A and B are shown apart, each in its own frame.
Chain A
Amino acid sequence: MRIRPPTGSQFRPAKPIDQSVMAENKARIERIDRRNVLRGSLSLGALTLLGGCDVSDTDTMQSVLTAVSAWNDRAQALLFDPNRLAPTFTEAEVLKPPRFNAYFSEADITPIDVANWKLELGGLISDKRPKTAPDIYAMPEQEIIIRHVCVEGWDYIGQWSGVNLRRFLESVGADLTAKYVAFHCFDDYYGSIDMATALHPQTILATKYAKEYLGDPFGFPLRLRTATKLGFKNPKWITAIEVTNTYPGGFWEDRGFNWFSGM
């Protein structure tokens, strides 16, 4: 059974945009007089001069909102209890397959050729030798059955296995006192989490879902799964991990979503 989002994600259209709209409105678009557009833009320019406070108000409001979001990062870091475990669930509650979500549609996935795939390591890590898939699979495996919560509001129970991230970072000699762990992905997605969350016992580099290797839509061969952060904080198709003290941002975070996004 395929579970499809009932109404579709806001981050991608539920159905492809109907191209007939273009054909229908072609005449209308052509009717738009370029001279009128120019004239309109002139008066718009004049309006911004007159209503300068309106425009700057918007800018001011945006900087207030950004500042509060940064404050909320700090508040959430304080609220975060590194020893508190997220609720876990039984195998019977696991959704199979998991729900797909990315900034593109499922049809646009480029599967990774695992034979050529390597996990690059960078930043404050002493052993930066890249890892191959067999290297990762040889590491001790941990399984967690946890709730996935999307920032949009939907959730499901997932069963993930892979190497514990703390254990992985220790094995490559990462600086565990650094501030951030950043991830770079095959689909050009990128993201980062705080070190406290990276070291949480329920944060893993997942290679399997419901005891089978991850499917292509869900991040094969390697993705992050942390029980204490929203879904978008769990990058899929990871190709590089970097430990750093410089704020790395993230794909959605750079589009206004809260960086910490802890649960």
Chain B
Amino acid sequence: MAETKQTTRSKPLHPLGLRIMHWTNAVAIIIMICSGIKIYGDSPIFSFISFPNALTLGGDPDIAWKFHGNGGQSGALQWHFLGMWILVLNGLAYLTYGIVTGRLRHKLLPIRPREVIATIRDAMRFHLSHDDITVYNGVQKLLYVGIILIAIIEVLAGLAIWKPVQFSTLASLFYSFQGARLVHFFGMAAIVAFLIVHVALALLVPRTLLAMITGGPRVEKSPAPPAKLAHQTGE
């Protein structure tokens, strides 16, 4: 019974909608980081941290002078306030999808400390298994849940900076206007750190990257039964 269900009602590991949301998010994140570091440069928080124009979006001096008659400050803001709509609307769609279909709970929970430690130990001994890319290990779960939470905090800090009067209650959670800027900056730094690890690991195990383009191996459609049981029957 269970077997017929698996063969007749299967779907790709990453359904098309999810893949579209993933790559839309990738574009939005790049827009937000590259325009954000240009905006940061208008009034740097740390005198020892600055970003070269070549890395920024909107900071191209030729385009900026041609269209706006300034060094790119307004262009970067325009990009940031375009990217925010893509990021937030796509992010809301992703979270809604993940919660309604149970995908978030199924793939990312529970996170067991023992599992995380075991994954780290395996990784240190180069014993980490990549045979089954349909199941996340403890560290992956921790990182994915962590980056979703950081992205939410990042958006909230962004709202506090954009609308400190209309969202004054939210803004007060960050202590001061500069507090919100600080959180927004470190949130960006954490997202960049995640991106480096995420992209490096995807390149190390190219099947995972391919799966996010083509959909990957087919898996059972309904993740409703406990993940552990489904996994055991698979074995």
Chain A interfacial positions (CB closer than 8 Å to B): 5-7, 9-11, 58, 62, 64-66, 68-69, 72, 79-81, 84, 86-87, 147, 149-155, 227-228, 252, 255-258, 262-263
Contact = CB atoms under 8 A, between A and B. Distances in A.
A228 to B, nearest CB: 5
Given A62-B67, A65-B79, A152 B43 contact: yes
B51 interface: no
B75 interface: yes
5 contacts: A68-B82, A84-B165, A153-B43, A256-B74, A262-B166
B102 interface: no
B122 interface: no
B144 interface: no
B130 interface: no
B74 A150 contact: no
B75 A256 contact: yes
Nearest to B181: A153
* Residue of B74, B79, B172 most packed against chain A (CB within 10 A): B74
Given A65-B82, A263-B165, A252 B74 contact: yes
Interface residues of B, number: 32
B77 A155 contact: no
A258 B81 contact: yes
Given A7-B47, A153-B39, A255-B68, A86 B168 contact: yes
Contact of B68 (A81, A86, A256): A256
Secondary structure class of chain B's binding surface, majority of residues? helix
Contacts of A9: 42-43
Nearest to B185: A153
A149 B40 CA distance: 14
Contacts of B74: 252, 255-257
B164 A149 contact: yes
Interface of B: 39-45, 47, 63, 67-71, 73-75, 77-79, 81-82, 85, 163-166, 168, 172, 177-178, 181
Contacts of A147: 164, 177
Contacts of A79: 163, 166
Contacts of B67: 62, 256
A5 B181 CA distance: 17
* Residue of B39, B40, B82, B172 most packed against chain A (CB within 10 A): B82
A58 B67 CA distance: 10
Given A64-B82, A69-B78, A252-B74, A153 B164 contact: no
Contact of A80 (B41, B69, B166): B166
The 8 closest A-B pairs by CB, nearest first: A256-B74, A256-B68, A153-B43, A152-B42, A152-B43, A65-B78, A263-B165, A86-B165
Contacts of B82: 64-65, 68
B86 to A, nearest CB: 10
B165 A227 contact: yes
Given A68-B85, A155-B177, A255-B74, A150 B43 contact: yes
A5 B47 CA distance: 11
A153 B163 contact: no
Contacts of B178: 155
Contacts of A227: 165
A151 B177 CA distance: 12
Contacts of B166: 79-81, 84, 262-263
B82 to A, nearest CB: 5
